[in-house]
Chains A and B, each alone.
Chain A
Amino acid sequence: MTQPANRKRFTVPIGPQHPALKEPGHFAFDVDGEIVQSASVRLGYAHRGIEKATESRTWVQNLYLLERICGICSHIHATAYCLGVEKLAQVEVPPRAQAIRSLVAELERIHSHLLWLGVAAHESGFDTLFMYSWRDRETVMNILEVMTGNRVHYSANVLGGVKYDVDDQQAATIREGLDFLEERTLHYLEVVSTDSLFLQRTRNIGVMDREAAQLSGVIGPTGRASNVQRDVRLDSPYAAYADHPITPVYETTGDLLARFVVRLREQLTSIDYIRMLLDHLPNSPLTTRMPRRVKAGEAISRVEAPRGELFYYIKSNGGDMPDRIHVRTPTLCNIASVAQLVIGQHLADVPMILVGIDPCFSCNDRTSVICQDGQRDMWDWARLRQYGIDHYGTHYTKDLG
């Protein structure tokens, strides 16, 4: 059968609701039949104006604001911020606090990678893997709750140190949880490497070789799955990583399968690293004194978030509030690669390729524009907060009534 000469391409819009992860982002894919020819991306559906908001809050208030950029990797945002502000204030954080920062960061990585494994499995139609991995994720969430009292926003950091210590009983609970998670991770590694149906969705799909990955500016596990040897924990060590280097994980095939294998192997590395930290927790206070005003200057803070390098630029004018904070999240680096990766691929593989970079739109989008009765209005934080109080107050009262 011959193709008509005037055959048109179609644009398939995907999103903003649930393009892959349960977060909003919009993609327009030009397709010729089933094959993607080009793609464009549009973000901002979860943009909250956090960078602007930091300019009218104190250094301490900003810690709690910035760790709410992301509900998955809250700790690493707070860590990046603290490290930068402490650098500006020329404050030396005690070694035990640095070790606990790394410990919580690695627990967070396990939690993030397990969450991703479940979502990625769900996108491939492998819902059994999705449910088991999210069941097992509860173990690491429980560990974080035992340590900090919270499952999501652990709020472990303070400027100048950490709030929480680890006692012997908590250490035993963590070790017990890690033993279970190690066994489960090894099982999942075997499953994603051997299940023939799953491999049809991952092997040789969305391939990005090392050269292409470097030219696309890809970072984190997505880059390391293409043998891009960048890991801030190793390249520019912070917290406990200077005294105790981490073993980085690289794969060479650069396909979706490699992205699964890298993240699962990173979980095993994190498990080993946490055990090592528990064996070598230094004795020291947990905090040091921080000045209320921070010396004028600029600081750059780089950390390895679960999705890759998280970059903070912090500028102080010497006051009790920052002049400017700029956050560059790993998803912003990696999202552009999706538009390249999908070209020539089947439309049906697009969700899997997108999920392969583990995008986090909440991290990425940081103005609240309210549209009510056809009227557009831009609300400031105080008005948004009052709206929340009134809204939930009304509903709560209704429930009681």
Chain B
Amino acid sequence: MTTERNLLHAQSILGDLTTDWSQPAPDRYDAFVQPDNLVAVVTTLHQDRWGYLAAITGLDKGPEVGEFEVLYHFCADAAVLTLRVIIDRADPVMPSICGVMLYASPYERETGEMLGITFAGTPDDAWLFLPDDWQSEVFPLRKDAVLNGNGGGDA
């Protein structure tokens, strides 16, 4: 019951800031959020002390679809609220949420370098995992990334 109550509460406080909702599992809600509203949604959850940001997952839907989807997973006890944000694969820019919760920084750095997504306003956009001299435009977790040969750096 606590799980259901937590999820309903999240839905009530986020109101018009989301475009759609779905419930993929009894303990999960997915909220669809426009990129422009992301910071407002995260601020609302933070001010309400609704759970904590457990992870940011980046999904590449492939060049045919032309979209990235970035998932922000918030957990409160057993309840998991996932904010789903879709962005254009040709212009992959997301607002950073580090101004609200600084601990999102490593998650944004990882998602950014692995998929080539820019988190506008993130405090530190240096590679977290990839080598310092990783100069080419190879983003390993993109579906069309070519990972053989010299793709990872200058010879």
Contact = CB atoms under 8 A, between A and B. Distances in A.
Contacts of B106: 332, 335-336
Nearest to B30: A298
B130 A236 contact: no
Contact of B78 (A41, A235, A369): A235
B128 A300 contact: no
Contact of B73 (A230, A300, A332): A300
A51 B127 contact: no
Contact of B154 (A236, A324, A376): A376
A104 to B, nearest CB: 23
Nearest to A365: B129
A346 B67 CA distance: 47
A27 interface: no
Interface string A77-105: 00000000001000000000000000000
Contacts of A365: 129
A313 B141 contact: no
Contact of A369 (B77, B101, B126, B153): B153
Given A214-B52, A332-B110, A302 B149 contact: no
Contacts of B125: none
A309 B74 CA distance: 13
Given A235-B78, A335-B106, A367-B140, A43 B129 contact: yes
Interface string A370-385: 0000011110100100
B140 A217 contact: no
Contact of B102 (A311, A332, A336): A336
A47 interface: yes
A328 B124 CA distance: 19
Interface in B120-155: 124, 126-131, 133, 140-141, 145, 147-155
A280 interface: no
Given A236-B78, A378-B152, A311 B73 contact: yes
A336 B124 CA distance: 12
B131 A52 contact: no
Given A49-B140, A300-B28, A328 B107 contact: yes
B105 interface: yes
A386 B78 CA distance: 44
A298 B24 contact: yes
A241 to B, nearest CB: 12
B39 interface: no
B126 A378 contact: no
Contacts of A337: 103
Interface residues of B, number: 47
A12 to B, nearest CB: 18
Interface stretch (B7-15, B54-62, B85-93): B54-62
B38 interface: no
Given A43-B128, A298-B24, A328-B107, A376 B153 contact: yes
Contacts of A49: 140, 147
B73 to A, nearest CB: 7
A278 interface: no
A125 interface: no
Contacts of B145: 52
- Which has the most chain A C-beta neighbours within 10 Å: B101, B103, B105, B130? B103
Nearest to B141: A52
A43 B24 CA distance: 34
A377 B145 CA distance: 15
14 contacts: A49-B140, A51-B141, A52-B147, A216-B102, A236-B27, A300-B73, A300-B80, A313-B73, A328-B55, A336-B102, A337-B103, A376-B150, A377-B149, A378-B153
Given A236-B27, A237-B78, A376-B133, 12 more contacts: A42-B126, A47-B130, A49-B147, A219-B52, A302-B75, A326-B58, A328-B107, A336-B106, A375-B155, A377-B149, A377-B152, A378-B153
